[in-house]
Amino acid sequence: MTQSWDDMRIFLAVARGESLSSAARVLRVDPATVGRRIARLEEGLGTPLFAKSPQGYALTEAGARLLRHAEEAEQALSLGQEAVRGSTEGLSGQIRIGAPDGCANFLLPQVCAKIADENPDLELQIVALPRVVNLSRREVDMAIAVSAPTAGRLMVQKITDYGLSLAAARSYLNHHAPIHSRDDLKGHRFVGYIPDMIFDRELDYLADLGLDHVPLSSNSVSVQFHWLRQGAGLGIVHDFALPMAPRLRRVLPGDMRLTRSFYLIRHEDDRRLERQNRFAEALVTGMRAELTRLEGLT
């Protein structure tokens, strides 16, 4: 039996999503259709490609061997499409970026909007997730992270450093005990991450400042930000987000400030994709410029 690229596309979606329902959402078809296509592919190859269980679809040894070749075919198709389009025209097609939600909420929208203005045929998607994005499953085309990964077939590029500050709304500061030193923080209410949902050590801001009690917590930076805007307490805010909340004020700016870094992470197999290389260059340049602009406003 001869396999078509459509067979491989369905196989890759199941392998990466580890379930029919996950693959069906990506492919925009019914899960039953995905199941029938996988069964037909396995019948044609004469071997099971997945071990099925209530937990999902796990690759068999034969499936793992096929995965390598299917990904090579996917890569060759992408390279062929780029060769046809040429590299001098504007960027087009879909690119999906994963990012922690602080970056996704307060930095990426304006950077990506500018890139989209310059490339009207480009479709950009920002995936804001409170966890590490899985590039090997192709959840996204590239990811922004606050830690550089040390394992996997990945390309890692440092984008830039950025600052974070302890901050509170003027309304909160006006109605609570004054803060002149770290000792004065005792008794104040703090906003931060849910401790057991911090997915990267670099996000454990309050622990770095010696603070371990968080009465108001969320896994979302956006929720924390809005709590602070409403005068709910003190919390750590990205300096590049401060211009979007004029009523927030830095607290102990000379003492309570942190520095972190953003990294752009891509799959090693995408190194030859000129379209992604060009987009990555525009993204990094845009993020650096926007960070400098926003932090300058604070």
pLDDT tens digits for 225-273? 999 999 999 999 999 999 999 999 999 998 889 999 999 999 888 888 8
**In the predicted structure, residue 90 carries a pLDDT above the cut 60:** yes
Regarding whether 58 and 31 lie in a shared domain, the answer is: yes
Would you say 206 and 182 are in contact if contact means Cβ atoms under 8 Å apart?
A: no
| Domain boundary pick from 69, 85, 101 | 85
Structural domain that includes position 48: 5-85
Selection from 3, 20, 124, 116 nearest residue 70 by Cα: 3
Residue 116's pLDDT is: 96
Q: What SS3 class is residue 280?
A: helix
If one counts the domains in the chain, the total is 3
Regarding whether 268 and 142 lie in a shared domain, the answer is: yes
How would residue 188 be classed by pLDDT, with cut points 50, 70 and 90?
very high
Regarding whether 25 and 48 lie in a shared domain, the answer is: yes
Q: What is the CATH number of the domain that holds 228?
A: 3.40.190.10
201's tokens: 């050590």
Regarding whether 270 and 142 lie in a shared domain, the answer is: yes
**The model's pTM:** 0.74
More confident residue, 207 or 106: 106
Regarding whether 278 and 238 lie in a shared domain, the answer is: no
Would you say 67 and 12 are in contact if contact means Cβ atoms under 8 Å apart?
A: yes
